[in-house]
Amino acid sequence: MRWTCASGATYRRDMAASTTSPSSSTDPFWTDAERHLVRYGGEFTREIIDRAAGSFVFTADGRRILDFTSGQMSAILGHAHPAIVDTVRRQVATLDHLYSGMLSRPVVDLARRLAETLPDPLEKVLLLTTGAESNEAAIRMAKLVTGRHEIVSFARSWHGMTQAAASATYSAGRKGYGPGAPGNFAIPVPNVYRPDFVAADGTLDWRRQLHFAFDLIDAQSTGSLAACLVEPILSSGGIIEPPIGYLAALRDKCRERGMLLILDEAQTGLCRTGDWYAFERDGVVPDILTLSKTLGAGLPLAAVVTSAEIEQRAHERGFLFFTTHVADPLPAAVGNTVLDVLSADRLDERARSLGAFLRRGLVEIAERHPVVGDIRGRGLLAGLELVVDRDAGHGSGAGSDELGARVTRRCLELGLHMNIVQLPGMGGVFRIAPPLTATEDELSLGLGILDEAIGDACAGSR
């Protein structure tokens, strides 16, 4: 299989090397894994990962796998970036962890530098570890500041697995755990490809959808609406980007009700979409911003950013989020290095350029394969949705899950790691998020494998 990139370079994969079978299931590693590990989300990939570098992970038996998900959508500088490696080595040898009430220069420097990348009035920063933790803190702050407790989020949202974050998560994990936090409400996702409120021309009537959504919220609310927590581009929800104007209208709905707007930019923040922050496109500044994943470039670092006014009100009311690793110097030092590389290498511009290149390749794949129903996303966060029948309205989700699973397996056999979202009624949506440091040649390699895998999966289903 050959795939030619824009620069003219042509790649040919070594089929013998790329289709070797995964690590043997008789390896003691798998015996130990099956005996001792708690499974936390589906089955484990049957590969033993030995190391990672740049855009690739390498297995114990010598296979090289192109990483089109940046690890867990986090390693925006690729794996083992030299600047990150140097920072970790230096910082861990001097100052790694402190009592949570103590401060260090990396923490204050990162807070200041993050604020400098953001519009006013976002200037107060709380440094934490994971996206769930940052959303937990943001919700907690919003409840304290407003004196209310009700939280609104999208019906296909993913905000984390801790109590408040999980209660605002609707794409998965809600059944079997007992009641969530009281006062959580879902609103419909403005999905342009699969519209539910339709205008006369057949397009999504998102304004009518949003009005209807808040009519329902108002009917259910006890008068205690605290905040609306949303992703500017839903990732686990299927790479769904609200139309231009939606976030501004949502902000207005919040203002009318005295709610705070919290934007979760765990995956969209820090240049991935081609802007430093995804909300910049819409000219909407949130009351509270949460960051994670991309901020640590694969290491555990997250942040809550808000205004001095909200922080002051929270402080006066006794805001408490005293955790073991709040304001730790080691991850903060890594965050400073991430900002260094993003700025020096102008990775926002690179994400725009590579994103356009990636999109062109995905469109070409869609032209060859009728099972590709939609291409969407922004910058280096792209979505490709598989459908059984592209000509049936906006495609049928039925049967697409099985096809998506076949394509995913075939991609891995051919040396490409892909992540597919499978939600009821949506078919299968590939989340494509390579590192911002990836090259056109690496994107071409991934596009070629994906093209071949879709063809093989479709041929196998006939």
The residue annotated as part of the active site, out of 267, 275, 348, 451, is 267
pLDDT band at 7 (very low <50, low <70, confident <90, very high): very low
Range in 39-53, 122-136, 315-329 with the lowest mean pLDDT: 39-53
What number does CATH give the domain 22-36+43-81+347-461?
3.90.1150.10
Catalytic pick among 67, 264, 282, 311: 264
Distance CA(80)–CA(92), nearest Å, equals: 16
Around Cβ 276, how many Cβ atoms within 10 Å?
A: 20
This prediction has a pTM of 0.93
For 159-205, where are the alpha helices, taking DSSP H only? 163-167
Q: Of 3-12, 221-230, 272-281, 299-308, which range is least confident?
A: 3-12
Q: Give mean pLDDT, residues 327-339.
A: 98
**Res 25: pLDDT:** 57
Between 129 and 396, residue with greater pLDDT: 129
CA distance 402 to 395: 15
Say whether 241 is catalytic.
no
26 pLDDT more than 80: no
Report the pLDDT value the prediction gives residue 460, as an integer from 0 to 100: 78
Task: Name every residue whose Cβ is closer than 8 Å to that of residue 32 and which is 6 or more positions away in sequence.
Answer: none
Taking domain 95-344, whether its CATH number is 3.30.750.24 is answered by no
Q: Where are the domains of the chain?
A: 22-36+43-81+347-461, 95-344
Examine the residue annotation and report whether 30 is marked as an active-site residue of this protein.
no
Give the pLDDT confidence of 71-93 residue by residue, as tens digits: 999 999 999 999 999 999 999 99
Question: Catalytic residue among 231, 241, 311, 385, which?
Answer: 231
For residue 175, indicate whether it is catalytic. no
Query: CA 382, CA 291: separation in Å to the nearest integer?
Result: 19
Q: What is the mean pLDDT of the chain?
A: 92
Identify the band that residue 14 occupies on the pLDDT scale cut at 50, 70 and 90.
very low
In tens, the pLDDT along 203-246 reads 999 999 999 999 999 999 999 999 999 999 999 999 999 999 99
State residue 376 phi and psi, 5-degree precision: -150, 180
Mean pLDDT score, 115-119: 98
Predicted local distance difference test score (pLDDT) of residue 16: 34
* Tens-digit pLDDT profile for residues 378-390: 999 999 999 987 6
Length of the chain: 462
In DSSP terms, 260 is beta-bridged to 227
Q: How many CB atoms lie within 10 A of CB 350?
A: 18
- Please tell me the least confidently modeled range out of 110-119, 139-148, 172-181, 385-394: 385-394
Which pLDDT belongs to residue 12? 40
Which residues 6+ apart lie within 8 Å of 243 measured at CB? 190, 192, 204, 206
User: What's the chain's Rg over C-alpha atoms?
Assistant: 22
Q: Which of 158, 206, 253, 311 is catalytic?
A: 158
CB atoms within 10 A of CB 395: 23
- C-alpha distances (whole Å) from 190 to each of 87, 185, 195, 316 are 41, 16, 7, 37
What would the mean pLDDT of 60-68 be, rounded to a whole number? 97
The per-residue pLDDT for 427 is 64
Please tell me which residue in 251, 293, 350, 352 is annotated as part of the active site. Answer: 293
Rounded Cα distance between 285 and 19, Å, is 48
Banded model confidence at residue 20, pLDDT cuts 50, 70, 90: very low
Q: Is residue 138 a contact partner of residue 165, using CB atoms and an 8 Å limit? A: no
Is 109 considered catalytic here? no
pLDDT, residue 2, reads: 43
Q: Is 431 a catalytic residue?
A: yes
Exactly one of 431, 442, 451, 452 is catalytic; name it. Answer: 431
What pLDDT is stored for residue 210 in this prediction? 98
Is residue 267 part of the annotated active site? The answer reads: yes
Q: In the predicted model, what is the mean pLDDT of residues 322-340?
A: 98
Q: What is the pLDDT of residue 395?
A: 53
Q: Which of 87-96, 373-382, 395-404, 440-449 is least confident?
A: 395-404
